[in-house]
Amino acid sequence: MKTRDVRIATPFVTFVVSIVGGGVLGALTNLINGRVSPMYFQNIMHWKDVADIPRAAIAQGVFEGLICGLVLGTIFVLAVSVISKLHLRVGHSLCYLALLFGSAFLAWCLGGFLAMLLAWISPDFYRHAFIGVPEDLSSMLRYAWVGGSIWGVQFGGFALLIVWVAVFGLRWKANNSVEATAPDAVPDL
């Protein structure tokens, strides 16, 4: 019967990449958001005296992305390490992490779109439900995009973490049950 190697480097590499990836995703999304609606950051972050809001938004995105990468990366690494009993290869772990980051980016897009839709359908509700919303529709939709996209990537990222860990767990279990019943898994006598 084949024995599997314990891959102690996988959790460490995955953890570092999750933190760095969170920072990169935060920088990318706030690079866009800071240009779409500087007013959002001025109102929500109270950046009245900040000269270059789009640039400051990138730094804020890096900071929040690193924190999210640290927290969600810790959960991800612990989950896949326990499920795989440290037998997971680095490449396999990073593939799931890439799927998580890619789907979190899609959640960012979806959150922004849904917030814009809400603001467009009911501008009065949107103005009263959220802080500092501008009066004109164009500015309001840009403002809604930024707020919704941030919520999308944060809440969606957490929900998608749970989904991808569950998918990983189910696939890992299925692959291991197939290996256990394969002819070469039977020990030689």
At residue 188, the pLDDT reads: 38
Residue count of the chain, please give it: 189
Indicate the Cα dihedral angle 53, 59, 61, 67, nearest 10°: -150
> In 113-142, which positions are buried (b, 16+ CB within 10 angstroms) versus exposed (e)?
ebbbebbeeebeebbeebeebbeeeeebbb
Domains of the chain, residue spans: 9-185
**pLDDT tens readout for residues 116-157:** 999 999 999 999 999 999 999 999 999 999 999 999 999 999
At residue 75, the pLDDT reads: 97
Percent of the chain with pLDDT over 70: 92
Dihedral sign, Cα of residue 89, residue 92, residue 95, residue 97: negative
Query: What are the residue ranges in the chain where pLDDT is below 70?
Result: 1-3, 177-189
At residue 5, the pLDDT reads: 84
At residue 184, the pLDDT reads: 47
